[in-house]
């Protein structure tokens, strides 16, 4: 089956001219046809805007401003404006309003087409509502003409796309993000080639997206490369003597606290990165000097007890290595001496407080 060209990335100027001419030809002579043509885009635009009244108010405002911007000379030639006739054929300003209708609906139709073709980037209702509103404010009025600042709106639209892509990539793992970026680059490069070979006009959004995605590709490649290098540098903890407790295998500590890198905080990120975890083990158990305290990634409320209780569980599971239970302070200090934001007295007083859900039960 013959594949069709994807109009998300490029378009045929001949087809656009043909469609626009058809639109113009029918605009005055066949208003029902035009209403049918724009009804779906307008309904979708109202949905994006989330406020039918605001849409209607803008239409009224645009009509008023278009009329107000008509030159004084033209108004003096309009018998209806001068109040000496009510006949439609004497209403010179009507042609300005009809032209304004065309200038108003065309950006909306194009805007809706872009949104629907890239719906995966517009899942936020708030962002879509804001973009729809910005489309309105990019209209201006001059000598009875409605003017749409397409360049400025394109810039706003593109900025949103790039920031959305960036947010999506941040929510992915590095390997997944690199794969996603590489596939997107390949797709855009393919459509650039298609546009060139098929004599089509490339969308304004393609080249800026490509530039951004290639930078992201370089970033994730470097990050993965550095992570591999760090993995090589990560020590074999078993080679070290456990200075926290000589009789305790250091693997017990590693296995107990590793969960901080495997479970996510409410904000969707691990409590500790692999690098932070490595520094903690080296500082607290291997005795490597001059390492900085680390900071847990936690939601503002509700997770400090969860973190604290994991250290309490470490005490309950392994205090026997010391041959006495009177070593609580040492286990409290594991938290307060190796992580910022923890006060020894406060931690000790609340050390046995159990959270409603322990870290093991988190996703």
The predicted structure's pLDDT at residue 29: 54
Residue scoring higher pLDDT (249 or 39): 249
Is residue 198 in a domain?
A: no
> Which among 138, 153, 171 is the end of a domain?
171
End-to-end distance of the chain based on CA atoms, in angstroms?
45
**pLDDT surpasses 80 at 37:** no
362 phi-psi bin (left φ>0, alpha ψ -120 to 50, beta other): beta
Q: Are residues 14 and 144 in the same domain?
A: yes
> Which among 171, 192, 215 is the end of a domain?
171
**pLDDT surpasses 90 at 247:** yes
- pTM score of the predicted model: 0.53
The predicted structure's pLDDT at residue 346: 94
Torsion on CA atoms 67, 71, 74, 75, rounded to nearest 10: 50
**pLDDT surpasses 90 at 3:** no
Q: pLDDT digit string (tens) for 62-75?
A: 888 988 888 888 77
Q: Is 294 exposed, middle or buried (0-12, 13-18, 19+ CB in 10 A)?
A: buried
The predicted structure's pLDDT at residue 19: 59
Q: Are residues 148 and 248 in the same domain?
A: no
> Which among 139, 171, 203 is the end of a domain?
171
The predicted structure's pLDDT at residue 2: 41
Among 107, 114, 109, CA closest to 42: 109
Residue 310 structural domain: 237-361
Q: pLDDT digit string (tens) for 146-185?
A: 899 988 988 888 888 888 888 888 877 788 888 888 998 8
The predicted structure's pLDDT at residue 25: 60
Is residue 222 in a domain?
A: no
Q: Is 108 exposed, middle or buried (0-12, 13-18, 19+ CB in 10 A)?
A: buried
Residue scoring higher pLDDT (89 or 104): 104
Which residue pairs, CB below 8 angstroms and at least 24 apart, start in 71-80?
71/143, 71/144, 74/144
Residue scoring higher pLDDT (246 or 84): 246
**pLDDT surpasses 60 at 5:** no
Is residue 296 in a domain?
A: yes
- Total domains in the chain come to 2
Is residue 100 in a domain?
A: yes
Do 204 and 158 form a contact (C-beta atoms < 8 A)?
yes
**pLDDT surpasses 90 at 243:** yes
Among 102, 128, 130, 134, CA closest to 115: 128
206-210, 211-215, 282-286, 287-291, range with the lowest pLDDT: 206-210
Is residue 200 in a domain?
A: no
Average the pLDDT over 202-223 and give the result: 86
70-79, 222-231, 337-346, range with the lowest pLDDT: 222-231
Average the pLDDT over 216-226 and give the result: 85
Average the pLDDT over 253-269 and give the result: 91
Is residue 249 in a domain?
A: yes
CA atoms 350, 352, 355, 358: torsion sign: positive
Side-chain-facing half-sphere of 60: CA atoms under 13 Å: 6
**pLDDT surpasses 80 at 13:** no
**pLDDT surpasses 60 at 201:** yes
Element (H, E) at 57: helix 52-69
Q: Are residues 352 and 269 in the same domain?
A: yes
- Reported as a pLDDT band with limits 50, 70 and 90, residue 294 is very high
**pLDDT surpasses 70 at 32:** no
**pLDDT surpasses 70 at 22:** no
The predicted structure's pLDDT at residue 101: 80
**pLDDT surpasses 70 at 60:** yes
Is residue 245 in a domain?
A: yes
Core vs surface per residue 320-340: b (16+ CB within 10 A) or e: ebbeeeebeeebbbbbbebbe
> How much of the chain, in percent, has pLDDT values that exceed 70?
83
**Cα(1)–Cα(183) distance, integer angstroms:** 24
Q: Are residues 17 and 160 in the same domain?
A: yes
Q: Are residues 160 and 33 in the same domain?
A: yes
Give backbone dihedrals phi and psi of 179, rounded to 5 degrees, phi first: -65, -45
The predicted structure's pLDDT at residue 157: 85
Q: Are residues 147 and 47 in the same domain?
A: yes
- Reported as a pLDDT band with limits 50, 70 and 90, residue 20 is low
Mean pLDDT of all residues belonging to the chain: 83
Q: Are residues 148 and 295 in the same domain?
A: no
Among 93, 109, 121, 92, CA closest to 148: 109
Give whole-number Cα distances, 91 to 88, 220, 306, in Å: 5, 63, 74
Q: Are residues 25 and 162 in the same domain?
A: yes
Do 118 and 112 form a contact (C-beta atoms < 8 A)?
no
Q: pLDDT digit string (tens) for 98-123?
A: 788 878 888 888 888 888 877 777 87
Q: Are residues 261 and 151 in the same domain?
A: no
Is residue 230 in a domain?
A: no
The predicted structure's pLDDT at residue 220: 87
- Residues with Cβ < 8 Å from 17, sequence gap 6 or more? none
């Amino acid at each position: 089956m013959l594949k069709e060209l994807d109009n998300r990335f490029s378009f045929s100027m001949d087809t656009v001219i043909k469609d626009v001419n058809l639109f113009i030809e029918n605009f005055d002579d066949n208003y029902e046809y035009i209403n049918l043509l724009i009804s779906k885009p307008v309904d979708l635009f109202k949905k994006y805007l989330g406020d039918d009244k605001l849409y209607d108010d803008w239409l009224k405002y645009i009509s008023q401003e278009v009329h107000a911007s008509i030159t004084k000379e033209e108004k003096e030639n309009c018998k209806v404006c001068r109040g000496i006739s009510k006949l439609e054929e004497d209403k010179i300003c009507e042609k300005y309003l009809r032209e304004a209708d065309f200038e108003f609906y065309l950006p909306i139709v194009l805007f809706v087409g872009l949104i629907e073709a890239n719906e995966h980037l517009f899942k936020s209702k708030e962002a879509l509502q804001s973009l729809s509103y910005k489309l309105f404010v990019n209209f201006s009025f001059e000598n009875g003409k409605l003017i749409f600042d397409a360049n400025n709106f394109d810039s706003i639209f593109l900025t949103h796309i790039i920031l959305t892509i960036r947010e999506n990539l941040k929510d992915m793992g590095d390997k997944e993000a690199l794969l996603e970026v590489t596939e997107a680059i390949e797709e855009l490069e393919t459509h650039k080639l298609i546009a060139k070979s098929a004599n089509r006009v490339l969308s304004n959004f393609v080249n800026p997206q490509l530039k951004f995605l290639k930078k992201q590709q370089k970033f994730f490649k470097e990050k993965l490369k550095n992570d591999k290098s760090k993995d090589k540098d990560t020590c074999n903890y078993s080679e070290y003597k456990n200075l926290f407790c000589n009789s305790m295998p250091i693997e017990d500590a590693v296995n107990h606290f590793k969960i901080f890198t495997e479970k996510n905080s409410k904000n969707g990120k691990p409590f500790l990165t692999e690098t932070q975890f490595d520094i903690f083990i080296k500082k607290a158990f291997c005795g490597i000097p001059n390492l900085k305290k680390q900071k847990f990634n936690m939601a503002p409320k509700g997770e400090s007890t969860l973190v604290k209780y994991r250290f309490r569980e470490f005490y309950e599971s392994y205090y026997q290595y010391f041959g006495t239970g009177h070593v609580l302070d040492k286990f409290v200090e594991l938290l307060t001496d190796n992580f910022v934001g923890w006060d020894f007295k406060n931690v000790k007083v609340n050390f046995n407080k159990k959270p409603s859900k322990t870290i093991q039960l988190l996703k």
